[in-house]
Structure 1
């Protein structure tokens, strides 16, 4: 990690408090993603056992639409939210295909 610059060292306590909050939120996001992938691995195992496709396009599109609505209500950029969830879903599909090949 780079050393603090002089400006950062002189930053007011409020800035440090906010940065600590951001760090805590980032830690929670990683934990939530890890839990999401734990659950989706279980889904992948079920799909493999029942010889279901790794991708459910209808569900993915419904999920994206719902996420865009949630993002708009939360004041987040809908395109960013969609890009994020599509990246997550792509990783899930990749994992499901690996599970199916191993199973």
Structure 2
């Protein structure tokens, strides 16, 4: 599993890159604040209920959560399910909001 910093991710988003973002938080957390992407809570990933990500196994998939812990778990789970390029947002939304408000 690779990590990406909030700064590096923001730079890529600002440059207009088409990124596959996956938010693994619970719905109420996502409703409070998110940076977009596909919403697949961690439990669904761990139970292999990830139809939303079908066909993305060879693409770069960037996962994020509140602090980076759940997305780290999600990244490891996705790797065991055959995803070859999973990236975890280090520090999650806490770090993002600390830097960008």
TM-score, shorter chain, exceeding 0.5: no
More helix as a share of residues = 1
More strand as a share of residues = 2
State the structure with more CA Rg.
1
TM-score (norm 1): 0.27
